[in-house]
Structure 1
């Protein structure tokens, strides 16, 4: 199948608007809209359409109608479509990067560029993957074969911290496995998703990828709908529980990638100076607004004091500002809701007399949602800053001496998304890593992901996995065939 012959090479997308939804191959607006803000300035930058119940119904119906024909294509044909989609996204990546910084806040020259380029790479690479049938038994009398068949219509609900990456992270495996999708981005960051939905309508068959926008109501309509066979959700644990409850009425399949309170443990005698840039980025990248950020940094007593000085010195040179400024290292907090939560957390740290090594005061007079890089010096282990996920640029450094004690404290959380262990004795570090209750544990590295590497949380950090063969299988039913010869 020569897919490219069916695709217009002239894909015109106006990134200044209007912002429209994609339903059944059509670009549609809505009578009601909602404001989208630039978090660096507090200014309204656009109005996004607020989908009506009828439009959500239309999107789901379009996905349902398109799914049998899409599933009937071969893996190679669907791969060609996805590859063409990656090419179309790549042709518009500079506009997508600018739009991402404008609505999300992350620095354009660094994290926004990385996010968009990585997302496009993800689509291109997932398009090369395939789930092969597995022969369990093949005797002269009998054959047993296991296949993976599409689920049907998938509802995807995506967050505001990495809207492009986590959106396309869901699109690619969903579509390559023969499903169709209705996606709803966060109302805080809908614009980039609406635009990559618009691009998709020029490349993919009508109804294969539908993008609607709105708030909690629209997400609930998708989650509860009888014709949606799976929900793929990334967001907070509290909302994930609501998604799971709403999905129970129709026994939808669910993949939930939720919150984390990720520990990092520095072992004795660690040569930490070369690690400081990685540790800083892992904790403060995206202004701490990611589920796998280091949230608690446990430093052995033998190196704690000097590490604190060196880490603070490194962090002191970083600049918090508008993401469009090339001198900015960290952008603003994306929305006022999260900004308010950080104001409360900072107040709690101060009220409980925790020692602040850097930062600690939020200037509420600034027009944007700016929060300073803040390092808390060895707060009590039962304090909120250690026990809760702040989701912002504030990090507690915790002194430890006893290995059993620090492992127990690292595991003393309802979360279990990711963790890291750092030390000169690789075998010892791996031994510690094996005892950490988390879905991903890195040793002497951090935030390494891959198309073929499964990612998922333990405990209340999620259900199911994304990426890898296991992530593809999450978008399928397992079907066993048995034949008597």
Structure 2
């Protein structure tokens, strides 16, 4: 069992199961208060080289550890994390800003996912067999994997990279976002007492750390979650050494609401899935297309429910919308809100920037049927603002929903499941839901179409992307 952690001390990077301090440190900001948080390491090229060297050394033995033992250690890690989750949940609220109940949900999911990954063994597959030969597809671990983690779900999206890498026999280095380094460093600290040295390491740093990792010749795969713009830079950087990579990038998810829905039943879910985590989730509902026959009634019901949503510090009771996570994103969201007056968008619900607060608070806004080419429709705001749009023709709404470069998620809402599935199959997105949105599971592949990503995470498809595929031809007759 891991020793009890101190959630306020960060003595160094986690390299080869040791704390390795750095000459320089940095800190992030509590987005609810604007106050500085704790000092954390600022990695140098020497730190990166040391971590990669230890990861490559550890890979030689870790890749040969039987699946059952890797599974046992991953389950032990999940248990250790569960035993220490309470202070980490509070730390997550401090660094990310999300409400405490949502932080608890993130830890629930993370621990459950680790336990599920521990059961998922990538096995050989017989592709063809006859009297003369057998053709087998085998899957061997790639080597040293690196997970680059975003600031919106730093625990879940960190461990969702750790679990698949380790269970398939790879070693892994995690790079947290500079905005949310704290929980990920503690995840690595807990792992020190579970995994062999060099198997699971964490490096904290600034904006220069990412390129050090993506360009490193001895890292074999990058798994990146973040914006499409940054994803292009990551892909460009990885190309220098022909690294394998998985990209999970931004989305602009449409929800198509048909005229036969039970408005009172679905409005709470759709509204919550537009404003959860202050809209800072790539696969939340970003555009709501409502059939014109029910548009006014649906809009009014959504506004009424949204007015009951509380905005505030994540430690306050009943808060649903916390702060925008960082000043850079805060300015982007404020810029989107400034478009309301410039473009004369009609507000069904007026959002407010909390100007008297030191935190980055903005309350939800609902835009009433703006033009289809508006920024609020075309761009992903990544904040608590959502447009409602009318539709009447199925072919037209499908074309509008599919328009643009994003293709992460989409949903259709209707009592007629056959109709809903017919529409859903026309949507270009990596995940499509019927009468729901933002459902994810460790055994279900997740990825995007178009500029929303390359490859898949989670599921057997995601685990196989942590492996090299070999076609093994076995001829039975001796020449």
**TM interval, short-chain normalised:** over 0.9
The 5 Å alignment of 1:222-241 reads 222-241=213-232
Does residue 89 (structure 1) correspond to residue 72 (structure 2)? The answer is no
Does residue 266 (structure 1) correspond to residue 247 (structure 2)? The answer is no
Structure 1 equivalent of residue 239 of structure 2: 248
Does residue 99 (structure 1) correspond to residue 64 (structure 2)? The answer is no
From 142, 163, 169, give the equivalent of 2:160. Answer: 169
2:149/2:158 contact within 8 Å kept: yes
- CA distance in 2: counterparts of 1:266 and 1:208, whole angstroms: 47
2:215/2:240 contact within 8 Å kept: yes
Once the two structures are superposed, residues 266-312 of structure 1 have per-residue CA deviations (whole angstroms, 9 ceiling, x without a partner) of: 01121121111210121111110000010000111100101111110
- Matched residues, number: 476
Once the two structures are superposed, residues 327-350 of structure 1 have per-residue CA deviations (whole angstroms, 9 ceiling, x without a partner) of: 312110000000000111011122
Once the two structures are superposed, residues 395-446 of structure 1 have per-residue CA deviations (whole angstroms, 9 ceiling, x without a partner) of: 1011112221111111111000000000121111111111111111101122
Residue segments in structure 2 that go unaligned for 5+ positions in a row: none
Structure 2 equivalent of residue 449 of structure 1: 440
Structure 2 equivalent of residue 145 of structure 1: 136
1:19/1:195 contact within 8 Å kept: no
Structure 2 equivalent of residue 212 of structure 1: 203
Does residue 482 (structure 1) correspond to residue 473 (structure 2)? The answer is yes
From 46, 64, 75, give the equivalent of 1:72. Answer: 64
The 5 Å alignment of 1:36-435 reads 36-108=28-100, 110-435=101-426
2:285/2:437 contact within 8 Å kept: no
What SS does the corresponding residue of 2:319 show, helix, strand or coil?
Answer: coil
Provide runs of 4+ in structure 1 moved above 4 Å: none
Does residue 22 (structure 1) correspond to residue 6 (structure 2)? The answer is no
> How much has 1:10 moved relative to structure 2?
5.0
- CA distance in 1: counterparts of 2:352 and 2:342, whole angstroms: 13
- CA distance in 2: counterparts of 1:159 and 1:348, whole angstroms: 27
What is the TM-score with the length of structure 2 in the denominator?
A: 0.98
- CA distance in 1: counterparts of 2:22 and 2:268, whole angstroms: 46
1:374/1:394 contact within 8 Å kept: yes
Bigger shift: residues 179-188 or 18-27? 18-27
Once the two structures are superposed, residues 190-241 of structure 1 have per-residue CA deviations (whole angstroms, 9 ceiling, x without a partner) of: 0000000000011100000110011221110000000001000000000000
What is the TM-score with the length of structure 1 in the denominator?
A: 0.97
Once the two structures are superposed, residues 167-207 of structure 1 have per-residue CA deviations (whole angstroms, 9 ceiling, x without a partner) of: 00000000000100111000000000000000001110000
> How much has 1:135 moved relative to structure 2?
1.4
1:93/1:117 contact within 8 Å kept: no
What SS does the corresponding residue of 2:366 show, helix, strand or coil?
Answer: strand
2:42/2:205 contact within 8 Å kept: yes
- CA distance in 2: counterparts of 1:138 and 1:73, whole angstroms: 29
Once the two structures are superposed, residues 327-377 of structure 1 have per-residue CA deviations (whole angstroms, 9 ceiling, x without a partner) of: 312110000000000111011122100011112331333110001111111
What SS does the corresponding residue of 2:321 show, helix, strand or coil?
Answer: coil
1:156/1:170 contact within 8 Å kept: yes
- CA distance in 1: counterparts of 2:242 and 2:313, whole angstroms: 44
Structure 2 equivalent of residue 4 of structure 1: none
> How much has 1:19 moved relative to structure 2?
4.7
Bigger shift: residues 60-69 or 401-410? 401-410
> How much has 1:450 moved relative to structure 2?
1.6
1:10/1:412 CA distance change after superposition, 3 Å: closer
Bigger shift: residues 357-366 or 146-155? 357-366
